[in-house]
Amino acid sequence: MSESLIKIQIPVYLSAIFGILMILEHFFPMPGVVTGFNVAMRSFTTVVSAAALMLGVIFLTISHARTISQQKGGWYYSIFYMISLLITVGLGLLSVRNTNFLWIYDNMTSPTGAALYSLTAFYITSAAYRVFRARNWNAAVLLICGFIVLAMLIPIGGILLPPVVPIGEWLRSYPSSAGFRGMIMGTSLGIMGLGVRVFIGRQKEHLGIREERRGA
């Protein structure tokens, strides 16, 4: 089998066939064999996710092993990584409902995840201080609307400044909704266009393939 057939044509055909089957299932009552096949395909995404996770762990381990062997800057952190990996994988292989494994998740992974998510608040405040200046009329309108909606959203805002509640709800329900509707429609059309290009094989970057193009 030629390399082009394996690397390009077969994946493109499979993408198109599976994609069209999923679309048909949404619109037409399909026989059980097709529905069952689609359910199985969707379940395979769980398997692929797990495989992708394994792939990532392997890449990361190689990278850290290289850091340790070459004693690059911060190589001792890589040793922490290796130890953590061994402990977590070991406990997880015993059972993902193992008490110690759950302890690691409850007391280390999820608080860290929540803490990192909370970084957003700090960066939004820093960004707002730097960016929200009424440099021109457009920026001034943006600033005033943002102020009103924020005042509406904080619990005490409606108590301190009662007018912000009806104005903020109007802003959120009408101009903001209109803008979001436009964006949602545009994005949906963009996805349809991308889908057509992928299904007919005109764009293959998702397969890691970059073909020579005119004018690139």
Partner 1 sequence: MSILNKILNLDQRIIYAALFIALAYPILSPVILPMDIQGYSQQAFDFSDSIPEGTIVIFEGGLGAATYPQGGPGMVVQIYHMLTKGVKIVFFSIGTEQNFWTVRAIETAIAKLPPGTPAENGVDWVHLGYVAGGEAGVGSLVNDIRATVTSDYYGTPIDDIPLLEGVNDASSFSAVLWWGGSEGSMPYGIRQISVPFGIPITGMSTTNEVPNFSPYISAGQLQGIFGGVRGSAEYEYLMRLPGPALGQAMATNFGGLLWMALVILGNVIYFIQRSRGEE
Partner 2 sequence: MSLIIAGRALGLVALIVIVAAILFYMQQAYSGNIPKLRRLQAVDAIDEIIGRCVEMGRPAWYLMDTVNMTTPSVLAPTVAAFQILSHTARIAARLGSKFFVPVTQGLAYSIAADIVEEAYRAEGKIDDYDPLGTVMYLPDGADRMYIINNMWSQRVSGAFFLGSWYHKAVIFTENAARVGALSLGGTDTTHNIPFLVAICDYSIIGEELYALGAYVSGDPTNSASLAGQDIGKYIALILIVVGSLLATVGMDISGMFAW
Helix (H) or strand (E) holding 35: helix 32-70
Task: Establish if 193 lies at the interface with partner 2 (CB under 8 A).
Answer: yes
Both tokens of 138, joined, read: 């457009």
Nearer to partner 2, 153 or 163 (CB): 153
Binding site partner of 52, from partner 1, partner 2, none, Cβ cut-off 5-8 A by kind: partner 2
- Closest residue by Cα to residue 42 from 65, 18, 64, 7: 18
**Quick one: angle between helices 164-173 and 175-199, nearest 10?**
30
Nearer to partner 1, 70 or 129 (CB): 129
Which span sits near partner 1 by CB under 8 A: 5-13, 71-79, 147-155, 198-206?
147-155
Nearest-5° Cα angle at 7, 43 to 50:
30
Task: Establish if 180 lies at the interface with partner 2 (CB under 8 A).
Answer: yes
Let me know: does 203 contact 19? Beta carbons within 8 Å.
Answer: no
Which span sits near partner 2 by CB under 8 A: 26-34, 90-98, 100-108, 149-157?
26-34
| Interacting residues with partner 1 between 45 and 104 (CB under 8 A) | 45-46, 49
